[in-house]
Amino acid sequence: MTTRRIMVWIAEHAVLVALGVMFLIPVIFVLLTSFMGSGQTLTGALWPHPWDVSNYAKAFSTAPLGRWFGNSFMYAGLATLFMLVSSVPMAYVLAKVRFRFDNVIFFAVIVAMLLPPQVTQVPMYVMWSRLGLTGTLWPVILPNLFGHAFSIFLLRQFFVSLPSEYVEAARIDGNGDWGILARIVVPMAKPGIAAAAIFTFFQAWNDYYGPLLYASENKANWPVAYGLASFHGSHSTDWGVIMAVTTLATLPVVVVFFFAQRTFVEGITLTGVKG
Amino acid sequence: MMALGLIGLIVFFVYPLVANLYYSFTNFDLVSAPTWIGLKNYEFLFSKDSRVVHAALNTLWFVIILVPVRLAASLGIALLLVRRRRAAGLWRTLFYLPALVPPVASVVAFVFLLNPGTGPINTILRRFGINGPLWFNDPHLSKPSLLILGVWMMGDIMVIFLAALLDVPRDQYEASALDGANAGRQFLHVTLPNISPVIMFSAVTGVIAALQYFTEAAVASGVANGKTGIGSSPDQLLGYPDDSLLTFTQWMYVEGFTSFQMGYAAAMAVILFIVAAAVMAVLLRRLGLFTGRAES
């Protein structure tokens, strides 16, 4: 029995280590290549010799990378801020207030969350072009001010799990809904709100389709994820430089993740399991 | 309190859904007013547009291959991780991390890793005397290459499965062990029934994501082709190589937003809506939302 257990332990760890290496290989080669000079990347070298950090500087001189990063931070930052303003109160009402048609509205939020964005794309594009906002990132930023379906769903699930006794007690003490939200729900639901904020930030940071649709004609308004997609060919054919940009575009997301890992994993779990 | 959200639902969801249906019966180029042409767009879609059929079949490939493979891989790794006591967090982070990388960055990285000339993977294969394939430049391997990428990025599903596996009551395993069940039987009779709602949820959201598969395919085509980004001449660039990566939503993008056949794109959106809504109904029925029992 014990030898059998040891064999299973060894087999499982062998598989895990092998898989782990396979999952790490892409990251390792991207990083290594980003430190190779242009002479080396053309030869199919696997290890930088010598280590060359100039790709990172070159990346900023071959494309308006600083501006693209600024656009990404603006897009992701404003989208997150707007989402919080619109979605936290709505999620609170859906979670803690009973009223006619509350199920209908929650149903509509879920449907809006699940359906592909393309099903409403044509009229949306017409709307934004009539407003003269195509060519900018506003068509992907402004809708967050009017509710972000996924965040409303996530926050509502989180708020539902808070004990209703606190809400009722605060109501008896004479608080209105805004008071309850500010004094009771938000302080208790900080992890859930943080998770929704991080998801929205990442979704905006990673977005490719939105900027393609609305801002592709105007290079000065590209976010970095969109700029990266067109880097090969239009800005550089040097894989070393391209891998440096790839690394830089990924860095902010990884940094945020390591600061908020627990919140993040709990948030994902909440969306999938409670569903 | 819901004012902003309700305005959003009406202006950014209900209105465009209805307007899209109207546009689908019109000829509309964004500049002049839409003109009513009845079912002409649908007629063209179903009988004359051979590229839309090709694009739909490519999308179907991602639905029936990519989704199940990703689910199976996620479940397999979650099963390996659920038994870890030591360094559990480290393993979880390692397998989760790729899901965090921006999809565009992942695609660019994979096109580089698998590029036939100087890519590390083919370089390593060459050292073993193997002539590596063309990967993203081979119409037969471009979709399987994206499948490898899709498995690499499976972390978010894996974390959900892992949480579900940790939630399976321990006493059920103990009871079935007393009945003499081996590991295989335990998986079938204890693990699977307990986590099936989570698998169902991931399958439905996975299928809906596959129906709108766009970014990975578009970026892979553009980068592997090595030409300027897809803003320039999308007709030729999207789908490279040989239309093997042209998906339904990419063709809708080309028709609607580069050729400005917006009535036709609206008709394609209606088809997408019908298919996605049918898939979604499976999930909503399961959640009890059709019968009004909307409690979490």
pLDDT tens for each residue of B107-163: 999 999 999 888 999 999 999 999 999 999 999 999 999 999 999 999 989 999 998
Q: Is the pLDDT of residue B231 over 70?
A: no
Is A59 domain-assigned? no
> Same domain, yes or no, for A41 and A72?
no
Same-domain status, A163 and A241: yes
Contact B80 A89 (CB under 8 A): no
Decide if B257 and A110 are in contact by the 8 Å CB cutoff: no
**A127 found inside a domain:** yes
Size of interface A-B (CB pairs under 8 A): 294
pLDDT of A275 reads: 40
Number of domains, chain A: 2
- Domain boundary, last residue among A27, A54, A81: A54
pLDDT for A233: 74
Whether residues A13 and A115 share a domain: the answer is no
The domain containing residue A124 runs over which residues?
Answer: 64-273
User: How confident is residue B236, by pLDDT bands cut at 50, 70 and 90?
Assistant: low
- Yes or no: say if B122 and B234 are a contact pair by the CB < 8 Å rule: no
Q: Does the CB of B13 have a partner CB in chain A at under 8 Å?
A: yes
Residue B226: band (very low, low, confident or very high) from pLDDT cuts 50, 70, 90: confident
| B85 band by pLDDT with thresholds 50, 70 and 90 | confident
Nearest CB partner across the interface for A122, out of B23, B230, B287: B23
Kindly identify which residue of chain B lies nearest to residue A231, measuring between CA atoms: B229
The confidence score (pLDDT) of residue B135 equals 94
Hey, is the C-beta of A162 within 8 angstroms of any chain B C-beta?
A: no
Do A153 and A215 belong to one domain? Answer: yes
Q: Which of residues 35-54 of B touch A (CB under 8 A)?
A: none
Residue A81 maps to a domain: yes
CATH code of the domain in which A93 resides = 1.10.3720.10
Residue type, A129: S
Ranges under pLDDT 50 in chain A: 274-275
Output the pLDDT for position B5. 93
Please list the alpha-helical segments (H only) found in chain A. 2-34, 38-41, 54-62, 65-96, 102-114, 121-130, 138-141, 149-160, 164-172, 177-180, 186-188, 190-206, 209-215, 224-229, 231-234, 239-259, 261-273
Residues A23 and A99 in one domain: no
**Selected residue with higher pLDDT from B22 and B291:** B22
Q: Could you say which residues from 57 to 76 on chain A have a Cβ atom under 8 Å away from some Cβ of chain B?
A: none
- Do A47 and A112 share a domain, yes or no? no
Q: Are B1 and A126 inside 8 Å of each other by CB?
A: no
Q: How far apart are CA A226 and CA A213, in angstroms?
A: 11
d(CA B146, CA B194): 31
Judged on CB neighbours under 10 Å (0-12, 13-18, 19+), A71 is buried
Judgement on whether residues A37 and A135 belong to the same structural domain of the protein? no
In this predicted model, what pLDDT tens digit does every residue of B263-275 receive, in sequence order? 999 999 999 999 9
Measured between alpha carbons, how far is B40 from B20 in angstroms, rounded to an integer?
15
List the 80-109 stretch of A: residues with Cβ below 8 A of B.
Answer: 85-87, 89-90, 92-94, 103, 105-109
| CB distance B248 to B267 below 8 Å | no
A43/A92 same-domain check: no
Question: How do residues B163-204 score in pLDDT, each as one tens digit?
Answer: 899 989 989 998 998 888 888 899 999 999 999 989 998 999
**A252 within a domain of the structure (yes/no):** yes
- Using CB atoms, pick whichever of A27, A106, A265 lies closest to residue B294: A106
Q: Quick one: pLDDT at residue A116? A: 96
Residue A116 shares a structural domain with residue A242: yes
A262-273 per-position pLDDT tens digit: 777 777 776 655
Test A27 with B97 for CB contact under 8 angstroms.
Answer: yes
Q: Kindly determine whether residue B112 and residue A105, on different chains, have CB atoms separated by under 8 Å.
A: no
Residue (of A129, A128, A112, A120) closest to B16 by Cα position: A120
DSSP B33: P
Q: Do A46 and B120 touch (CB under 8 A)?
A: yes
CB contact under 8 A, A120 and B108: no
Model confidence, pTM:
0.91
Do residue A119 and residue A14 come from a single domain?
A: no
Preferred mutation among A17, A34, A232 to probe B, highest tally of B CBs within 10 A: A232
* Candidates B93, B104, B223, partner chain A, best to mutate (most A CBs within 10 A): B104
User: Whose CA is closest to A214, among A121, A151, A150, A79?
Assistant: A121
Same domain membership, residue A206 and residue A82: yes
Average per-residue pLDDT for chain B: 90
Q: In this structure, is residue A23 part of a structural domain?
A: yes
Same domain, A194 and A82: yes
Judge whether A94 lies within some domain.
yes
CA A189 to chain CA centroid, nearest Å:
20
Per cent of chain B over pLDDT 70 is 93
